[in-house]
Amino acid sequence: MLLLEVLRKPQHISSLSLSEWDLLIRQARSADLLGRLWREVELSGQDGVPEAPKRHLLAASFLVERQHDAVRREIGYIDEAMRAAGLRAILLKGAAYVATGKALAIGRTFSDVDILVDSDDLAAAESALSIFGWQPVKQSAYDEAYYREWMHEIPPLVHVKRNTTLDLHHAILPMTARIKVNTQGLREGNALVDGCTNLYVLQDADMLLHSATHLFHEGELVHGLRDLHDLHLMFGEFGALPSFWNHLLMRASYLGLMTPLLYAVRYSRRKFHTAFPQGFLGQLEKYSARGASLMDFCYDRALLPKHASCEQFGSGLARAMVYLRSHWLKMPFALLVYHLSVKSLARLSTKEDKATAA
């Protein structure tokens, strides 16, 4: 796959033909990695980018900067809401990368802001955000109950004026998930966001572990390659400190997130050829992830952009298996059967209504 080749070795850019550039731009846009591609071009020092693809890359970089400016403002508004309610919240994922000035934030796009509050503070946090203009997206009665009773977050909140989306979490996985996360442990070693009074970020190891947990419990990997690239960059950026690797293993064990770490390392190496210290890999060999061959079949395909040039034999089946696996990991079998049955009937009903209207 051309995009992977270029992200692994950006110097390949200098030898691309215009038709290859066209394919590269299309793959990167499909993967939501166009901004990151421009970052790699700049870091590699390549200045021979043809004018047509360069316009696409520059446009992506401008969009990234606008998003980052908007997120910084949104962080201030969220901090104000939390301060008014006397609550503490933790920024997650893309917003945390931007807020802390991580190198991996450069070129990173995202569509919403995620925060984590203590489960005991969930109702108060939702009320405070409502006062400041964030209202829940309308859901069906079933989906509303599903979020409230089973999920690790409430329905998405959208600001009535700015139309920005906020996801309010009280855990990083559903309470019914097969992996039992030490959620309280995530509150250790948090750092206050610069310029804020009530917003924090996870320590680096936990930031990486949360990203891995999110990716390998996600059912629809629309941005799977982008999220895996996040992990690849985190391994490089955070791992510059030799002490990071033992600390990462310790935190993964303590938080109950060793399995997501195993997959993060495995697929970062397979897709981006990420380098790891041999001592770290040796320590990781003490743990084993089940069904490696089947997982490779699924994730080698499902992590690729959903673009015609990236389709392989079994890609559709792999995506379906990842979708089912994510639900299997999130809920017990009886609830899984009930949930998928309700959602299937709802989709069928929607199709029939559209057919009738037509």
**pLDDT tens figures, 21-37:** 999 999 999 999 999 99
Classify strands 199-201 and 191-192 as parallel, antiparallel or unpaired. Answer: antiparallel
What count of residues does the chain have?
358
Whether the per-residue pLDDT at 183 is higher than 60: the answer is: yes
Among 206, 161, 214, 165, smallest CA distance to 187 is for 206
CA 340/CA 93 separation, integer angstroms: 28
Whether the per-residue pLDDT at 67 is higher than 90: the answer is: yes
Q: Which fold has domain 2-357?
A: Beta Polymerase; domain 2 (3.30.460)
Reported as type and span, the H/E element at residue 231 is helix 224-238
CA 333/CA 348 separation, integer angstroms: 22
pTM of the complete model beyond 0.85: yes
pLDDT digits 0-9 by tens, 233-259: 999 999 999 899 999 999 999 999 999
Tokens matching residue 292 = 């490696």
CA 51/CA 49 separation, integer angstroms: 6
Q: Mark out the alpha helices in 256-291 (DSSP H runs).
A: 258-272, 278-284
Angle (deg, nearest 10), helices 224-238 and 204-215: 160
> Is residue 168 a contact partner of residue 210, using CB atoms and an 8 Å limit?
no
Whether the per-residue pLDDT at 355 is higher than 60: the answer is: no
